[in-house]
Amino acid sequence: MAPRTVAPFGPQHPVLPEPIQLKITYENEKVVDVVPALGYGHRGIEKACELNEYPKNIHLVERICGICSCIHGISYCETVERLWPLEVPPRAKYLRVIYSEMSRLHSHLLWLGLLCDALGFESMFMQFWRIREKVLDILEATSGHRVTQSISVVGGVRRDIDAEQEKTCIKVLQEVKKEAESLINVLASDPTVKARTVGKGVLTKEQAILLGINGPHLRASGVKEDSRMLGAQAYSELGFEPIVETAGDCYARALVRAREALQSIELQLEAFSKMPEGEIFERPKGRPPANEVTYRAEQPRGECFYYAKGNGTQHLERFRVRTPTFANIPSLLVMLPGCELADVPVIVLSIDPCISCTER
């Protein structure tokens, strides 16, 4: 038996934007065992949410994660609205879909760039981030900020997209679609990318269901499961169909995210064409009543679960978020053992880890 070595992967590592440590045991160049260590990024946001008044929490919840910030804010509002329950105006529902999809688009483009970076395909990394910048620009032009859009409030949305902005958005989205399609075509057909991803980190359908994986990671293993299928907000009116791949390897996960990015452009264009005129905000009456609710939202990284308990005051008695990466980390313990040490960064990145979400 070859001698075994234990080496830390993280908490500071070039492919990891956030701190998570994987203690990797390897024999020669083969990974034998993995033990994840979490807890570097805990900020106590859930507790802080109980101390704050409920409208102020939107801004706090948005800071759980930098990339999913907009969807966190929207989902928090959707959760709190279910305490009454409160119906938001139809136009606000469509605007929430548009902002959710826009942040999914920029998140997936960011991830595709990071994947290229992990593979050493630097020029492609720059290309993906270049087109992502256009999406961030329209987010800033419509909502007022690139990253923390703060667009949602309990009862609707804060800013409307007027006709002129709508035209610009559609034009930019069509440009981004054209450019993204050509880049994804390169990524999907490149022999080096294929050599580094095809057959690496395979997770079968049965294993994925057993481990409770979610999001694009689950869909790449051949399970048709997406929280958007539940039809919250305006998704029920948009004819949404989840994207599924069956191979379950890193390549399949890249393809799912690439196709989802294109699909989210389509969803936005459809939402723009179907968006009704009218009010965007309805003031909630009184304080959130004593009630318990749950809500499932589909974030770029997977399914996010929200729980809120009201007690008739301005404060929530309990607020809880279960984020997608928390469910996806166990899959690393199945995918990593048996792989080459050089494949570890790509496999770790393929679950799209978001540690600040996980630890809150």
Partner 1 sequence: MPVMLPTVLRNLFGGPATRMYPVQVREPFAGARGQIEFNDDKCILCGNCEKRCPAAAIEINKDKNELVFYPARCIVCFVCAEACNKEAIIEVDKWRTPYYTKPVEVHTAKAKKDKAKENKVE
Binding site for partner 1 (CB under 8 A): 52, 55-60, 124, 127, 130, 133, 137, 140-141, 144-145, 148, 150, 158-159, 182-183, 185-186, 189-190
For the CB of residue 140, give the shortest distance to partner 1 in the complex, in Å.
Answer: 5
By beta-carbon proximity to partner 1, the closer residue of 155 and 201 is 155
Contacts of 326 by beta carbon, 8 Å cutoff, 6+ apart: 357, 358
By beta-carbon proximity to partner 1, the closer residue of 58 and 346 is 58
The C-alpha angle with vertex 64 and arms to 63 and 68, in degrees rounded to 5, equals: 90
Torsion of CA 196, 202, 208, 210, to 10 degrees: -140
- Helix (DSSP H) and strand (DSSP E) numbers for the chain: 14, 8
CA-wise closest residue to 346 among 357, 335, 360: 335
By beta-carbon proximity to partner 1, the closer residue of 52 and 263 is 52
By beta-carbon proximity to partner 1, the closer residue of 151 and 304 is 151
Measured between alpha carbons, how far is 352 from 17 in angstroms, rounded to an integer? 10
Can you spell out the DSSP letters for 330-359? HHHHHHSTTSBGGGHHHHHHHT---HHHHH
For the CB of residue 153, give the shortest distance to partner 1 in the complex, in Å.
Answer: 9
Find where tokens 């890249």 sit.
Answer: 254
For the CB of residue 171, give the shortest distance to partner 1 in the complex, in Å.
Answer: 15
For the CB of residue 56, give the shortest distance to partner 1 in the complex, in Å.
Answer: 4
Q: CA distances (Å), 64 to each of 75, 86, 87, 214, in order? A: 12, 25, 26, 19
For the CB of residue 41, give the shortest distance to partner 1 in the complex, in Å.
Answer: 19
By beta-carbon proximity to partner 1, the closer residue of 186 and 290 is 186
For the CB of residue 134, give the shortest distance to partner 1 in the complex, in Å.
Answer: 10
By beta-carbon proximity to partner 1, the closer residue of 27 and 53 is 53
Find the radius of gyration of the CA atoms of the chain: 21
* 3-class DSSP state of 322: strand
For the CB of residue 69, give the shortest distance to partner 1 in the complex, in Å.
Answer: 12
End-to-end CA gap in the chain? 42
The C-alpha angle with vertex 192 and arms to 188 and 194, in degrees rounded to 5, equals: 45
By beta-carbon proximity to partner 1, the closer residue of 125 and 326 is 125
For the CB of residue 38, give the shortest distance to partner 1 in the complex, in Å.
Answer: 27
By beta-carbon proximity to partner 1, the closer residue of 124 and 339 is 124
